[in-house]
Amino acid sequence: MADQCPFCSIASGSSSASMVYEDNNVLAFMDLNPISVGHVLIVSREHWENLYEVPEETLGELIAVVKRVAIAVKKTVGADGIKIIQNNGRCAGQVVMHIHFHVVPCFSQKGTKRYGRVMENRNVLDEMAQKIRKNL
Ligand code: 5GP
Ligand code: ZN
């Protein structure tokens, strides 16, 4: 566990998150500042900074959960498409230095589902996480 890492804090239980999925090696939870409704993050339980460092076995487990969560999110929010984002390094847009994949729903008719980053209410995120869990 890395000091001051927000995802290690969630993995250890010292910070809370709207949890969608967890097992021994992988966690999935709602992004606090969603790009769109249903935006989920998939992270390794162990602290690896980025794609270059994460062991291939862990990467395989992460991507398997990305697939499952993507299908469940698409169904839950009625998305027309799903974007998978994985940033490595600050110039790529990585802010949290703990490997993670973004599952971001996309909608054909922009405006029908809120776009743009806003700090989402935790109750709203908890409800969304519960709905996604049911579709996993
Ligand atoms: P990055 O830009 O590093 O690829 O994305 C980091 C993501 O983590 C951002 O979308 C941001 O909203 C999200 N995030 C940062 N801190 C927290 C947190 O403490 N809890 C949750 N649920 N999401 C976070
Ligand atoms: Zn970490």
- For residue 113, what pLDDT is reported? 59
Q: Average pLDDT per run of 10 along the chain, which is 136 residues long?
A: 90 96 98 94 98 98 98 97 98 98 90 63 94 98
Which atom of ligand 1 is found nearest the CA of 95? Answer: 3
- Give the catalytic positions in this structure: 100
Q: According to the model, what pLDDT value does residue 117 have?
A: 67
What pLDDT shows up at residue 115? 55
Q: What is the pLDDT of residue 9?
A: 97
Order of strands, edge to edge, in the sheet holding 81-85?
19-22, 26-30, 40-44, 100-106, 81-85
Q: 78 alpha carbon to ligand 1 midpoint, in Å?
A: 23
pTM value surpassing 0.85: yes
Ligand 1, pocket-test mutation among 14, 85, 95, 118, most atoms within 8 A of CB? 95
Identify which ligand lies nearest to the alpha carbon of 100.
1
Candidate of 5, 35, 41, 88 to mutate for ligand 1, largest count of ligand atoms within 8 Å of Cβ: 41
What pLDDT shows up at residue 120? 76
Q: Among the atoms of ligand 1, which is closest to the Cα of residue 125? A: 22
Ligand nearest to the CA of 15: 1
